[in-house]
Every structure is written in C-alpha cells, then in structure tokens.
C-alpha cells in the first residue's frame, strides 16, 4: 500500500494534483447548482409578471 501511495516517488506531486482537481470539480458542481437555482427563480419571477393582468 505504501508503494502505491508513494507512486514511485512522485506521490508528493500526484496526490495534490488529484486533490486540486477534486476541489475544482466540487466547486464547479456547487457553482452550477447555485446558478441553476438563480435562473429558475428568475424564470418563475418573469412568468409570474407575465401572468398578471395588464402586463
């Protein structure tokens, strides 16, 4: 197991790269979910305004 984690001496470069990649992917997922909620709220607001009489 230690040999696997050491990655042939390159573990100190490989594992942080995996960590940064994982953080970026999680950040993109969170950002996308927040943007999706904001767009849905904006669409609901615009639809509600369009449904009002006299608009």
Tell me how far apart the alpha carbons of residues 43 and 19 are, in angstroms, rounded to a whole number.
36
The confidence score (pLDDT) of residue 53 equals 78
Residue 53: φ, ψ to 5°: -65, 145
Return the pLDDT at 55.
57
Say if CB 5 and CB 11 are below 8 A apart. Answer: yes
Q: What is the pLDDT of residue 7?
A: 95
Per-residue pLDDT of the chain (55 residues; tens, 9 = 90+): 999 999 999 999 999 999 999 999 999 999 999 999 999 999 999 999 998 876 5
């Amino acid at each position: 197991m230690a040999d696997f984690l050491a990655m042939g001496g390159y573990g100190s470069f490989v594992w942080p790269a995996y960590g940064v990649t994982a953080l970026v992917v999680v950040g993109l997922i969170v950002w996308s979910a927040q943007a999706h909620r904001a767009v849905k709220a904006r669409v609901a607001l615009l639809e509600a305004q369009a449904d009002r009489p006299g608009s």
